[in-house]
Structure 1
Amino acid sequence: MNGIASVDQLWRSIRREAESAVARDPVFGTGLSSAILDLPDFAHALSHQIGARLGKTPADRARFAQLAREAFAGSPDLIDAACRDLQSIAFHDPATTTLLPPLLNFKGYVALQAWRLSNSLWHQGRCDLALLLQSLSSDQLQVSIHPTASIGTSVFLDHATGIIIGAFAVIGDEVTILQNVTIGRKHAEPDRAPKIGRGVLLSAGSTILGNVSVGDFAKIGAGAVVEHDVPPGCTAVGVPARLTNCPKTTAPA
């Protein structure tokens, strides 16, 4: 994805959108002070959203927001990834071209950033806290991503209900995942998880299981069950999945 804005540029754009929203609709704008306009930067705004979405009580919301702020301050790469993820939504989703609505309202975006936080905690040895965040995301947002998964940037969880990404799954950059998608291991292969390449589309209700590789820019059709490799650029449809629309191999001159 070209033309990625910096974190500071992103934050200035979000603030301008918030100020315009307040001017257009004062009722809607009443909540934007604490969520956006009173905050110093994007990291604080994202921390606020994570706390608000995962916390069940005011004390929990404050605690999780503080946890996120500390993590973002210690690992700026988490904010860089969040910046790319947010811009990816505006780039890929025809229903929105601005940044404020997905930051405030798209639970898939917050769930992905909560996973980035849990993944960071896992690698710090704070595994119990990481699993707690996974559980809360599953309960509150209907998105369950194991802290040991590996996920690239510019990833879009669209609609983000019923998404399950299991332990050790690998997901590349610029992947779009729709609702009710499962990516997980088989019981017979507990140490082998799917690997999803760059730019892949996982359509609604699709399932990818076991030691399989989905190549770059492949598409998995709605409801498909994938248990074998999908080459780059191919489309997999059906139960069990079969390949279609694969790129033609160019013959040597």
Structure 2
Amino acid sequence: MGADITSLGAYFARGGVDAAAVDAAAPSVSPAGLWELIRGEARAHRDPVLRDLTRPSILDQPDFATALAYLLSRKLSNDLVRKATLFALIRDFQISHPPAVEMAVADLASIRERDPAASGLLVPFLFFKGFHAIQSYRVAHWLWHENRRPLAHYFQGRASEVFAVDIHPAARLGQRVMFDHGTGIVVGETAVIEDDAALLQNVTLGGTGKEAGDRHPKVRRGALIGTGAKVLGNIEIGEGARVGAGSIVLKPVAPFTTVVGNPARVVGAPHRGLPSLTMDQSLPAAECEI
């Protein structure tokens, strides 16, 4: 079995170390181990109003993957596309692509460690729509490459309706990606978001409207993009970079650099580590004094 959740704190506390050390420090959290922790929280849950939700969603499910398929199919179904049909489709995806389940586990574990609003695993699993949107995207991405593109767009459109997060099925997302709050995030067709990156609400990874082909941003490992930032065009947000809230970014951002403003400009000296692991959105001291 992989490391339990309590051992993850030391890993995510490494936000100030060199980024090269992160992969070596990253734990392997097993689906079975994480699932037992979620079930333990559900068994301890005493609110009678939510009992009808936690029992079928958690306690009646045999494992993490099946519970996730149940959860997504319930949220993404409608009067014309039945829950049972979506459940079977999502399970087919999980069985044919086992790493997708491992990625979902890593995503959820990282939320527990990085988001101060997440006091456990049960609430993020059931209610955090940034997590739900990313897992829905993974199914859509599979369908896109299976040449079932209208169905992939169904997942995209339905997730946008339900979660207010719009991720094109062709975009490429890594693992341990965190969409904090999620509301209003837009990720374009040729965008890339690498491992450990974090985006806050109302972030857009979009095109300029004047390009064709590869036209969306590439967000490298461990970058943090603040609330309401707009990153436009085929530009790179470097590893460990930090984009301040409300910034308009039209040019590449160097690794381990902080940018703010409209248009975005560099502030302070280069930093070390990956700000997405600590969700540190503070500006360099000299900038704060202006």
Instruction: Give the TM interval when normalised to the shorter protein.
Output: over 0.9
Residue among 231, 234, 240 paired with 1:217: 240
- Match status 1:65 vs 2:87: yes
Aligned residue number for residue 7 of structure 2: none
Instruction: Give the total of aligned pairs.
Output: 247
- Cα displacement (A) at 1:7: 1.0
- Match status 1:32 vs 2:51: no
Q: Distance in 1 between matches of 2:133 and 2:207?
A: 21
Return the letter of the residue paired with 1:3. P
Return the letter of the residue paired with 1:210. G
- Match status 1:94 vs 2:116: yes
* Native 8 Å contact 2:257 2:271 kept in 1: no
Q: Distance in 1 between matches of 2:116 and 2:271?
A: 30
- Match status 1:161 vs 2:168: no
Q: Could you report, residue by residue, the CA deviation over 1:133-157 in whole angstroms, capped at 9, with x for unpaired residues?
A: 1011111111000011000100111
Return the letter of the residue paired with 1:235. T
Instruction: Describe the shift of the 1:29–1:58 C-alpha distance in structure 2 as closer, same or farther (beyond 3 A).
Output: farther
Q: Could you report, residue by residue, the CA deviation over 1:159-206 in whole angstroms, capped at 9, with x for unpaired residues?
A: 111110000100111111111110012222222221101111111100
* Native 8 Å contact 2:244 2:261 kept in 1: yes
Aligned residue number for residue 81 of structure 1: 103
Aligned residue number for residue 7 of structure 1: 31
Aligned residue number for residue 42 of structure 1: 64
* Native 8 Å contact 2:258 2:270 kept in 1: no
* Native 8 Å contact 1:148 1:167 kept in 2: yes
- Cα displacement (A) at 1:13: 1.0
SS of the residue 1:30 aligns to: helix
Q: Distance in 2 between matches of 1:232 and 1:60?
A: 45
Return the letter of the residue paired with 2:211. E
- Cα displacement (A) at 1:12: 1.1
Q: Could you report, residue by residue, the CA deviation over 1:11-67 in whole angstroms, capped at 9, with x for unpaired residues?
A: 11111111111xx32332232111011111111110111112211249622222221
Aligned residue number for residue 134 of structure 2: 112
Q: 1:120-199, aligned counterparts within 5 Å?
A: 120-191=142-213, 192-199=215-222
Q: Distance in 2 between matches of 1:193 and 1:52?
A: 32
SS of the residue 1:190 aligns to: coil
SS of the residue 1:183 aligns to: strand
Instruction: Describe the shift of the 1:248–1:118 C-alpha distance in structure 2 as closer, same or farther (beyond 3 A).
Output: closer
Instruction: Describe the shift of the 1:221–1:33 C-alpha distance in structure 2 as closer, same or farther (beyond 3 A).
Output: same
Q: Structure 2: any 5+ residue segments left out of the alignment?
A: 1-10, 12-25, 273-290
* Native 8 Å contact 1:234 1:243 kept in 2: yes
Return the letter of the residue paired with 1:222. A
Aligned residue number for residue 255 of structure 2: 232
How high is the TM-score relative to the length of structure 2? 0.82
Q: Distance in 1 between matches of 2:256 and 2:268?
A: 8
- Cα displacement (A) at 1:81: 0.7
SS of the residue 2:82 aligns to: helix
SS of the residue 1:118 aligns to: helix
Q: Please say which of residues 58-67 and 180-189 is displaced more in the overlay.
A: 58-67
Find runs of 4+ consecutive structure 1 residues off by over 4 angstroms.
none
- Cα displacement (A) at 1:246: 3.3
- CA RMSD in angstroms comes to 1.6
Q: Distance in 1 between matches of 2:164 and 2:50?
A: 25
- Cα displacement (A) at 1:96: 1.4
The structure, 1 or 2, with the larger RCO (C-alpha pairs under 8 Å, 6+ apart) is 2
Q: Distance in 2 between matches of 1:159 and 1:229?
A: 26
Q: Distance in 2 between matches of 1:180 and 1:208?
A: 11
